[in-house]
């Protein structure tokens, strides 16, 4: 499955204590997402803005947006109440690297909690530009959402891409996004980051293409591959999402190329706790109930 990489002890810790990189870790350790990033620099045809980013989260519930200072305060609170949380991630509700607050939050959290694992989820458009700043704050767990490696297919998934202040549409936009994504993934692997790829499974659009994506990223040295069934909304409202059996079959087709992540919970951008047992409301309302 993918390239064999000899991991150093610190990288192994970042895998073993991160619930999304190690299925075993998801029973013992938790993660907290800080929702500090509302803006986005692209438009996916499955995304209705105002909702959490499909990069790493379940749409349908808006998140309270935190400032970097609020983000650090949230980490203090989380560490006090949920000491099993080992990972602090930024995954939305928009695109983390389209918001300067993301890096500022990473800087502050790293300064105060250097032992915590920092994690980022991105659409990859600005990854090459910011990768060394991520290294500076010890952000070594990275997720990139990559839905196509063919710009013709990408053009069916992305309405537009805004890069360096200019808006691009169709194949032109998809091409810029893809080039940046592949460059960013390569740079991340070279910097020994643990890279997860999220691919949204969109029947009739990218389904036959997904094994090719897995093959490509496996050869590049990414750690694991997460297939996310489409949640039909916005321009893909009429698309029937894949069934669990279709998802399992797709994992089987991709498994020869790269390790498969099968336990993703499509968390909210403000999720706190162990996967599938989120406790946001403990923090927001003190009632201790799981917030759906």
Summarize as ranges the residues that interact with ligand SF4 (CB under 6 A).
Answer: 20, 31, 40, 42-44, 47, 53-57, 94-95, 123, 226, 264-267, 275
Give 50 or 111: the residue with its C-beta nearer to ligand SF4: 50
Least distance to ligand SF4, CB of residue 40, Å: 3
Residue 54 CB, nearest approach to ligand SF4 (Å) = 4
Strand, helix or coil for residue 183? helix
**CA 96, chain centre distance (Å):** 9
Beta-bridged to residue 111, according to DSSP, are none
Q: What is the CA radius of gyration of the chain?
A: 18
Measured at the CA of 111, the angle between CA 108 and CA 115, to 5 degrees, comes to 120
Q: State the nearest-atom distance from the C-beta of 36 to ligand SF4, in Å.
A: 14
Measured from the CB atom, is 69 or 100 closer to ligand SF4? Answer: 100
Measuring CA to CA, which residue among 105, 111, 274, 112 is closest to residue 120?
Answer: 105
Q: Which residues contact 33 (CB under 8 A, 6 or more apart)?
A: 56, 57, 89, 90, 91, 92, 267, 268, 269, 270, 271, 272
Output DSSP code: residue 208: G
CB nearer to ligand SF4: pick between 244 and 286: 244
> Cβ-count burial of 49 within 10 angstroms (0-12 exposed, 13-18 middle, 19+ buried)?
middle
The residue (of 69 and 128) whose beta carbon lies closer to ligand SF4 is 128
Find the shortest distance in angstroms from Cβ 278 to ligand SF4: 9
47/66 with CB nearer ligand SF4: 47
Nearer to ligand SF4 by Cβ, of 6 and 196: the residue is 196
Integer Cα distance of 157 and 73 in angstroms: 37
The strand pairing partners of 177, in sequence order, are none
Residue 69 CB, shortest distance to ligand SF4, in Å, is: 23
Nearer to ligand SF4, 111 or 232 (CB): 232
The C-alpha atoms of residue 98 and residue 92 are separated, in whole angstroms, by 10
Q: Closest approach of Cβ 232 to ligand SF4, in Å?
A: 13
**Minimum separation from the CB atom of position 171 to ligand SF4 (A):** 18
CA pair distance 130, 106, nearest whole angstrom: 12
């Amino acid at each position: 499955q993918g390239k064999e990489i000899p991991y150093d002890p610190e990288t192994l810790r970042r895998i073993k204590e991160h619930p999304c990189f190690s299925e075993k870790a998801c029973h013992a350790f938790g993660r907290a997402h800080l929702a500090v990033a509302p803006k986005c620099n692209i438009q996916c045809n499955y995304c209705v803005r105002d909702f959490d980013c499909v990069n790493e989260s379940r749409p349908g519930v808006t998140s309270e947006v935190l400032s970097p200072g609020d983000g650090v305060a949230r980490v203090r609170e989380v560490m006090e109440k949920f000491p099993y949380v080992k990972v602090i991630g930024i995954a939305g509700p928009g695109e983390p690297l389209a918001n300067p607050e993301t890096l500022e939050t990473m800087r502050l959290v790293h300064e105060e909690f250097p032992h915590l694992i920092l994690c980022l989820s991105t659409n990859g458009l600005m990854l090459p530009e910011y990768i060394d700043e991520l290294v500076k704050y010890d952000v070594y767990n990275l997720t990139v959402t990559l839905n196509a490696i063919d710009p013709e297919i990408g053009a069916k998934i992305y309405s537009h891409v805004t890069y360096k202040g200019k808006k691009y549409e169709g194949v032109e936009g998809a091409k810029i996004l893809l080039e940046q994504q592949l460059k960013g993934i390569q740079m991340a692997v070279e910097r020994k980051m643990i890279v997860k790829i999220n691919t949204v499974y969109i029947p009739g659009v990218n389904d036959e293409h997904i094994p090719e994506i897995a093959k490509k990223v496996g050869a590049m040295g990414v750690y694991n591959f997460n297939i996310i069934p489409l949640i039909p909304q916005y321009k893909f409202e009429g698309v029937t999402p894949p069934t669990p059996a279709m998802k399992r079959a797709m994992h089987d087709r991709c498994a020869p190329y790269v390790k498969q992540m099968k336990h993703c919970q499509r968390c909210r951008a403000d999720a706190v706790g162990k996967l599938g047992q989120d406790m946001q409301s403990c923090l927001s309302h003190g009632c201790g109930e799981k917030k759906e």
